[in-house]
Amino acid sequence: MMKRSRHVIVSQILDICRGGANKTKIVYKANLNFRTVNPYLELLIENELLAVRRENTLIYETTERGASLLDNFKQINDQLNELNVVEQQ
């Protein structure tokens, strides 16, 4: 199994948090553990890519800036995948 890059993990977290997610949901859906998810959440909050609101627990939600970054990442990733298909032919 290949190790995921940091930007892939960041994009997965942003995608999971689009509708709001607690830390447990992020950990399980992104296949991380509670210790490794914290630096990612801190980074995303500091850069205003995630916002935090308190309900019964903390809910992390992708901001407009985070959604824009995620959309750009997906476009670039799609284009790179198209290049790989062309190279393999």
| Mean pLDDT, all residues of the chain | 92
Q: Is 2 helix (H, G, I), strand (E, B) or coil?
A: coil
Is residue 1 domain-resident?
A: no
User: Which tokens go with 88?
Assistant: 């393999």
Is residue 59 domain-resident?
A: yes
Which DSSP state fits 49? S
Tell me how many domains the chain contains: 1
Would you say residue 1 has pLDDT above 70? no
Which DSSP state fits 62? E
Is residue 29 domain-resident?
A: yes
Is residue 45 domain-resident?
A: yes
What residue type is assigned to position 65 of the chain?
Answer: R
CATH of the domain at 69: 1.10.10.10
Full domain range(s) for residue 82: 6-88
Would you say residue 3 has pLDDT above 80? yes
- pLDDT band for position 62 (cuts 50, 70, 90): very high
Is residue 16 domain-resident?
A: yes
User: Which tokens go with 30?
Assistant: 């992104």
Element (H, E) at 76: helix 64-88
